[in-house]
Chain A
Amino acid sequence: MDELKTLIGELEHEPPHSLARQRLRLAQETTAAPRDRGWRRLLPFGRHTRLDQPLLSGRRLAMGAAVAAVITAGVAVPLLGDADPAYALTKNQDGSINLKVYDFRDPEHLEKELADWGVPADITYLPLGKSCGNNRAPFLKGDDFGATKEELLSSDAAVQARVRERLEKSISFQAIRPRDGITIYPRHIKPGQIAMIEVMENPVTPTVERPGVAWQFSGRLTTGPIEPCKVVADPEAHHIGDATPPPGS
């Protein structure tokens, strides 16, 4: 097929300088795109979450937002099919372990793999729209970062920033972070602590036409014992926010 290669060489054109216009077009789109507002969902308390929901049990409130990291991933169309769930976990250079949503589809297998890396874990995988209604396990003291209900529900950017900062300093957040999917930092997990992670994945993949939440997770450390998840409906799970860019972006 040398002839074909020759023909290709003859027919293709060198990119013109005006291609920069297309870069600008992309830049306009990317600048207008909302930044990942996932951090707002790092809290179990969303702005739109009603306080009488099982997710927000009195105990949880009393503990002061003990890190249930909940992030929202994407509103996109899977053009090229689903991710292959067969990938073994890999350890990053800094010792952290990166998990993707497809790793969670086989919770027992994932627990075993994490155990091989020395990370005791309790994994729950649920469809989006469900969640564990019970607290399941004791909270760590260091996860109580003392945010008041008013602060948690505040729409003031400065208050949000302060809450976020405190959240990120909590013990659980050090160990389980919403980064590149979910990243676990074993060095922040002390002996006797268990990484308890609940992943809720949307069985219907969101599309551009029908945007939605692709998946969420909630994770924290606990010393156990861990009770089984009591599955309850979580009608707020599909909420994708108000889609306005955060202040300053």
Chain B
Amino acid sequence: MVTDTSPLVVDSEIITSSLDDPEKFAVLFDRYAAALYRYISFRLGPGLAEDLVGETFLIAFRRRAAYDISYRDARPWLLGIATKLITGHRRTEVSRYRALERQNPAQPVEGPEEAITRDLTAQGSRTVLLNALALLSRGDRDVLLLVAWSDMTYEEAARALDIPVGTVKSRLNRARRKVRHTLGGVNPLEEHDHG
């Protein structure tokens, strides 16, 4: 018998055994809490992230009996729950992007001219990108950020968000197109007005 914490034990087995022995579910926390914190904190900031990590695991624990154990990796499932929780705080998320957008870029005090130019360009695209994220629709933003952050496949994202794979693809395409558009120098507000 392998121990709970052995990395050889796949997530689905842990979930199954937690039906008999609920405390085993904590192994999933040890595996994924840090990653979930990073994901949530990038979207909502550190203030809410900690509580939502806890919330994600409580929801997952209560729903564990419905987990389809043919999927060994529980990460997409957990990220899906976290994403739905984030959606509930979407105003906070948009405000966060807006606030970051307004922050004055840290100007390099000195240095080679090229470096200054590069920094300013990077800062410029950052601002544009934050603006683009704030303007995306909720569904498009969820798919774009979930996939960009986790590198999950379309199928995994579809399962995580409980939407069809076709919807994942179309949302992702639309979101990417809008973001590229804004990065290409087009006024994102116009894009928004038409979308």
List B contacts of A22 (CB < 8 A): 29, 33, 50-51, 53-54, 57
When the two chains form their complex, are residues B179 and A4 in contact, meaning their CB atoms are under 8 A apart? yes
User: B50, B122, B130: which contacts A18 (Cβ < 8 A)?
Assistant: B50
B20: interface (CB < 8 Å): yes
List A contacts of B174 (CB < 8 A): none
List A contacts of B19 (CB < 8 A): 36, 73-74
A14: interface (CB < 8 Å): yes
Nearest Cβ on chain A to B134's Cβ, whole angstroms: 12
List B contacts of A30 (CB < 8 A): 18, 22-23, 25-26, 61
B46: interface (CB < 8 Å): yes
A231: interface (CB < 8 Å): no
B9: interface (CB < 8 Å): no
When the two chains form their complex, are residues B20 and A29 in contact, meaning their CB atoms are under 8 A apart? no
User: B33, B58, B62, B100: which contacts A11 (Cβ < 8 A)?
Assistant: B100
When the two chains form their complex, are residues B26 and A25 in contact, meaning their CB atoms are under 8 A apart? no
Query: What secondary structure prevails in chain A residues at the interface with B?
Result: loop
List A contacts of B34 (CB < 8 A): 15, 19
For the complex, what is the distance from the CA of A97 to the CA of B41, rounded to whole Å?
Answer: 43
For the complex, what is the distance from the CA of A19 to the CA of B83, rounded to whole Å?
Answer: 19
For the complex, what is the distance from the CA of A200 to the CA of B105, rounded to whole Å?
Answer: 63
For the complex, what is the distance from the CA of A14 to the CA of B179, rounded to whole Å?
Answer: 26
When the two chains form their complex, are residues A80 and B80 in contact, meaning their CB atoms are under 8 A apart? yes
For this complex, 23 residue pairs linking A to B, each with C-beta atoms less than 8 Å apart, are A4-B179, A8-B148, A12-B42, A13-B42, A14-B38, A22-B33, A22-B54, A25-B54, A25-B58, A26-B58, A30-B25, A30-B26, A31-B23, A33-B61, A38-B20, A78-B63, A80-B66, A81-B159, A83-B68, A83-B70, A180-B16, A180-B69, A205-B66
Residues on B lying within 8 angstroms of A by beta carbon are: 16, 18-23, 25-26, 29-30, 33-34, 37-39, 41-43, 45-46, 49-51, 53-54, 57-58, 61-70, 77, 80-81, 100, 122, 125-126, 129-130, 144-145, 148-149, 159-160, 162, 176, 179, 183
User: A14, A26, A80: which contacts B25 (Cβ < 8 A)?
Assistant: A26
When the two chains form their complex, are residues A4 and B129 in contact, meaning their CB atoms are under 8 A apart? yes
When the two chains form their complex, are residues B38 and A19 in contact, meaning their CB atoms are under 8 A apart? no
Look across to chain B and name the residue whose beta carbon is closest to the beta carbon of A77. Answer: B63
For the complex, what is the distance from the CA of A31 to the CA of B21, rounded to whole Å?
Answer: 9
Nearest Cβ on chain B to A130's Cβ, whole angstroms: 22
Contact with B along A21-44 (1 / 0, CB 8 A): 111011101110101101000000
A7: interface (CB < 8 Å): yes
Query: What are the 9 closest A-B residue pairs judged by CB atoms, nearest first?
Result: A74-B65, A22-B54, A12-B42, A76-B65, A78-B66, A13-B41, A15-B37, A33-B22, A30-B22
A55: interface (CB < 8 Å): no
